[in-house]
Amino acid sequence: MHHLAAHPNIVPIRGVYEDWDNIHVVMDLCTGGQLLDKVVARGHYTEKDAAEVIQTVIKVVAHCHDMGVIHRDLKPENFLYADNGKHGQLMAIDFGLSIFFKEGEVFHRSVGTPFYMAPEVLHRHYGKEADMWSCGIILYILLSGVPPFYGESVWQIQDAILHEDLDLDSDPWPRISSDAKDIVKRLLHRCPMERASAKEILSHKWMKETGNGCGEPLTNPVLGRLREFATMNKLKKDARRIIAMHMPKEEIEGMRQMFCQLDSDCNGTVTFDELRQGLKKKGASIPEAELHHLMNDINLDGDGVLHYEDFLAATVCLSNLHNGARLMAAFEHFDTDGCGYITRDHLFEAIDQCGNVDQNIDQILSEVDRDHDGRIDYKDFCRMMVGGQED
């Protein structure tokens, strides 16, 4: 959950606490009830409403897969509304069965909820495509009000999943558009290699024309974070690296695994070719010239390769930067004499001695020093790091 944080439709985790008897996971409170309750109350959804809901579900899945995670228990019970408002945000919860994966990796443990399990999960030989099957089951239920494969026992449900034909003829399917049925069929294809991906579904004609902006292209979150980091000034980059390297292991474990996947020769660094190939496997295409610029802007040591510290500083989710202790620790790293400010001399010590360092310092002071007194106080520093939230 730390690894997947910052997505608007994944419930944020605020902390984990342990006593003698229990582990307490603290998350944002969602008061709007389960998606399943809404389906039961309505019977079934209109195509427009179903498209808007499944858009959110599939965008969550796309984010998980881009970040190297399979959810493995997608179902309407695991989506809650943040509140009871008409436009309440739909939030994914319950990552208890989720798992990190490498592209092409095969899993053999059969887990999940019977109605939503893909055929290959029952065969104990599956990958990320199993999540897309679950999305197909959810969409089928949204449009018809019933699951496509039913049984009185787990064994009957499993037999139906493996052998029964998909019913798109009974009521209300004759009244449902051919485009909607096409999406259902593409998601519920029994062969995982023939099943549609999240990005393919979001670009489908039905999603574009029926939903609310469903066809907008998705940006790979890792590539997006690399691009954002590349535009930051040197002080902010260094501060992010300091904070990231001192974050608890559980908050950065996902990014560590992603770095190890990119580092194909396991030598502790990621080269240009390794980064290009790694992004390509995730479906993130980027012109080589831009990637060269990114490498140069992200590599804080100037040696032409990405070290783990570089990658972590650029990609880790720092949504919990509001933590005053972490911000203060980073500020004090630069305020070496404890004067309460980051001065021009402090910046000179911190910035690599290459290029026109005086010009770099002047630019940083111009960007960060709000009262133009030639030094950066703690409030200035916090505004730079978290967009004005310094408490």
Residues designated as active site: 73
CA distance 376 to 368: 7
Helices (H) and strands (E) in the chain, counts: 18, 8
Residue 167: count of CB within 10 angstroms of its CB: 13
CA distance 106 to 127: 5
- At position 2, the amino acid (one-letter code) is H
Residue 216 carries which DSSP code?
Answer: P
Classify residue 199 as exposed, middle or buried by CB count within 10 Å of its CB (0-12, 13-18, 19+): middle
- Angle between helix axes 288-298 and 272-281 (nearest 10 degrees) is 120
CA distance 335 to 338: 5
- Angle between helix axes 47-66 and 221-230 (nearest 10 degrees) is 60
SS3 at position 307: strand
Structure-token pair, residue 342: 């980051």
Q: Name residues whose C-beta falls within 8 Å of residue 384's C-beta, 6 or more positions apart in sequence.
A: 233, 235, 236, 239, 367, 368, 376
CA distance 307 to 259: 9
